[in-house]
Amino acid sequence: MPSNMDRIQKAVDAHIRHRYPLMVSDLTKPEMKLLIWVLNIDNTQDFLPRLPEAERIKHAIATLPQVMRRHSLVLRVVSKGRRRARMLCGPHSDLNPFVVHHIFELLDVEIVEHLWKLDRCIDLLEPSIREIINELQAMRGMWWLPDDQLIPGPDNTIFQRNRCEACILARVVDEPMYLQNLRTALLARSTLKRAPRLLSFVEEAMNTHANLTSTLFYMSGQLAFDMKAARKEAEDQWCMSKSRKEIEALGALAKKREKELQEMQRRNIDSKLQEIRVYMDPESDEGQEVLQAESSKGSDGVDSARRPQDGDGLLVDEISAAYAALSTADDELPPNRDAYPESRFTATSSESSASVCGASELSVAPVAPLSIQKNKPLPPLPTKPLPPLPRTPLPVDSDFSSEGPATPSSADKGKGRVSDATEPKQRSTPLPPRDSIDWANVFHMRSPIDRALEHAHQLYRPQVEGADQHDNLLSPQAVRYSASEYEDAPVREDIPSFVSMDERSPGGPSGPNDTTWSLFMKSGM
pTM for the predicted model, two decimal places:
0.47
| Residue-level pLDDT at 379 | 66
| Residue-level pLDDT at 459 | 67
Residue 421 DSSP symbol: G
C-alpha distances out from residue 235 to 87, 217, 232, Å: 36, 26, 5
| Residue-level pLDDT at 330 | 46
First to last CA, the chain: 42
- Phi (first) and psi of residue 399, to 5 degrees: -70, -40
CA distance 96 to 19: 13
CA distance 128 to 130: 5
| Residue-level pLDDT at 419 | 45
Q: For Cα atoms 213, 215, 216, give the angle at the middle one, nearest 5 degrees.
A: 65
CA distance 493 to 488: 15
| Residue-level pLDDT at 399 | 46
**pLDDT per 10-residue tile (average), the chain, 525 residues:** 61 63 85 91 62 83 85 62 70 87 90 82 83 88 68 66 88 92 87 80 92 91 89 78 67 75 74 58 65 63 49 70 63 49 47 44 48 59 64 52 47 46 51 66 70 72 55 46 37 39 39 60 59
Helices marked H in 81-147: 97-112, 116-120, 127-138
Cβ-in-10-Å burial (0-12, 13-18, 19+) of 451 comes to: exposed
Q: For Cα atoms 231, 232, 236, give the angle at the middle one, nearest 5 degrees.
A: 115
SS3 257: helix
CA distance 142 to 157: 6
| Residue-level pLDDT at 104 | 92
Task: Report which of 238, 202, 244, 236 is spatially closest to residue 220, judged by C-alpha positions.
Answer: 202
Quickly count: other Cβ atoms within 10 Å of residue 359's Cβ.
18
